[in-house]
């Protein structure tokens, strides 16, 4: 079997090495390591001023020093030529902070694009309870502007709670900020998402069941759904599709026309009332592809899946979003509430440094 040859070089992956005996590329006068104090590690003035003013690192204290948390200690070690507090600092800290490595990787990943990420524990700003950090764009600074985003993170093996996640997104949006989620895989790679609760709407005429009843009586069942041979007066474009000189309708469309009450018809009706058109999404791995205009005039901007049909882990979400964006669409999860209403959570991948 011939060996596969790559035309392009594989992406270089950082191992984030630690230097313990000195830094050849560091400043002429070596930085002193951070010292442990209540709530974190202390970096004294005057070097602290540069870290805070230029990079928004640490919490500014009254004496000019800054207080940094563990992920900032590692970031300063990797990128600002600061030695670790001790040669066994990593081992000692991991014993009490098992997620330090993943959290530090997320912190570095977001800041690598020039963004200013500040742990929520440094700030007196109101934010959602499960927010880990707040983000400012590279042009702004926490001392003189408001954050543009709230950030949380998870590991790929963490549990996924749809209700809690949607409440977090709503809380972040209510504050006028973007909800950003980082997922760390087992290779210490980070995938970023922007989340939003959306209200999808379209321009199609909302169908009325009573206007279809006469024609609906002429339907013929077949294994794949329903067929109306004489559809010359079938004016409802939101339902069915032309085939064999007639009109084909799916079971979910037939159930809606017949007034069947279940979760699928409830969601179907909600989307129809929004002026949207639903078409099968099998080839995209979802329930429906959603059109906001007549399908002959536009592409479907959304791929939609009902929450109970979605994989219950982050790997499943990654697959859905990756596939959707690979065909220039956005992936949406539809969630129903106790009052028989539906909400829609949209996932979009995002890279730090991009608008």
Tens of pLDDT along 52-105? 999 999 999 989 999 999 999 999 999 999 999 999 999 999 999 999 999 999
Looking at residue 222, what is its pLDDT? 87
pLDDT by 10-residue block (mean), the chain, 355 residues: 64 81 74 93 95 95 94 96 94 96 97 93 95 96 95 96 96 98 96 97 88 83 85 71 86 93 95 95 95 89 95 90 96 90 96 79
What's the mean per-residue pLDDT of the chain? 91
pLDDT at position 14: 80
pLDDT for the residue 233: 58
Task: Say if CB 314 and CB 183 are below 8 A apart.
Answer: yes
Question: What pLDDT does 230 receive?
Answer: 74
**Predicted TM-score (pTM) of this structure:** 0.91
Give 290's contacts (C-beta < 8 A, 6+ positions apart).
Answer: 200, 271, 276, 277, 278, 279, 300, 301, 302, 303, 304, 332
What is the residue extent of each domain of the chain? Answer: 30-97, 205-266
Q: What is the pLDDT of residue 12?
A: 76
159 vs 313: CA distance, rounded Å = 6
Residues 132-150: tens digit of each pLDDT: 999 999 999 999 999 999 9
User: Which pLDDT score is estimated for 298?
Assistant: 87
DSSP class of residue 11? P
Contact 175, 97 (CB under 8 A): no
Cα–Cα distance between 323 and 332 in angstroms, integer?
Answer: 12
Q: Phi and psi (nearest 5°) for 262?
A: -160, 180
Distance CA 251, CA 280 (A): 11
Residue 185 CA to chain centroid, in angstroms? 15
Q: From CA 166, how far away is CA 342, in angstroms rounded?
A: 12
- pLDDT at position 235, please? 61
pLDDT in tens, 251-264: 999 999 999 999 99
């Amino acid at each position: 079997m011939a060996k596969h040859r790559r035309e392009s070089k594989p992406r270089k992956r950082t191992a984030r090495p630690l230097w313990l005996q000195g830094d050849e590329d560091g400043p002429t006068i070596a930085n002193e390591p951070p010292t442990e104090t209540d709530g974190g590690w202390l970096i004294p003035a005057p070097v602290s001023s540069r870290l805070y003013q230029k990079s928004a690192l640490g919490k500014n204290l009254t004496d000019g020093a800054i207080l940094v948390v563990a992920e900032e200690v590692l970031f300063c070690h990797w990128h600002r030529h600061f030695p670790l507090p001790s040669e066994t600092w990593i081992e000692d800290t991991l014993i009490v902070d098992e997620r330090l490595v993943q959290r530090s990787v997320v912190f570095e990943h977001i800041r690598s694009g020039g963004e200013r990420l500040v742990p929520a524990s440094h700030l007196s700003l109101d934010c959602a309870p499960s927010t880990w950090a707040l983000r400012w764009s590279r042009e702004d600074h926490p001392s003189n502007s408001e954050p543009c985003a709230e950030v949380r993170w998870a590991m790929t093996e963490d549990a996924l709670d749809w209700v809690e996640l949607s409440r977090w997104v709503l809380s972040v949006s209510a504050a006028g900020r973007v909800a950003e989620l980082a997922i760390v895989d087992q290779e210490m790679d980070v995938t970023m998402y922007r989340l939003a609760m959306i209200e999808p709407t379209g321009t199609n005429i909302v169908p009325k069941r009573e206007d279809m009843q006469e024609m609906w009586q002429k339907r013929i069942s077949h294994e794949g759904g329903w067929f109306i041979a004489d559809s010359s007066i079938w004016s409802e474009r939101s339902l069915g599709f032309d085939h064999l000189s007639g009109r084909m309708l799916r079971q979910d469309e037939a159930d809606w026309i017949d007034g069947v009450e279940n979760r699928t018809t409830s969601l179907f009706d909600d989307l129809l009332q929004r002026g949207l058109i639903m078409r099968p999404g099998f080839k995209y791995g979802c329930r429906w592809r959603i059109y906001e205009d007549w399908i002959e005039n536009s592409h479907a901007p959304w791929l939609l899946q009902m929450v109970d049909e979605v994989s219950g882990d982050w790997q499943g979400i990654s697959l859905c979003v990756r596939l959707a964006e690979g065909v220039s669409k956005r992936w949406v999860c539809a969630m129903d509430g106790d009052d028989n209403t539906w909400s829609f959570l949209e996932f979009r991948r995002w890279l730090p440094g991009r608008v």
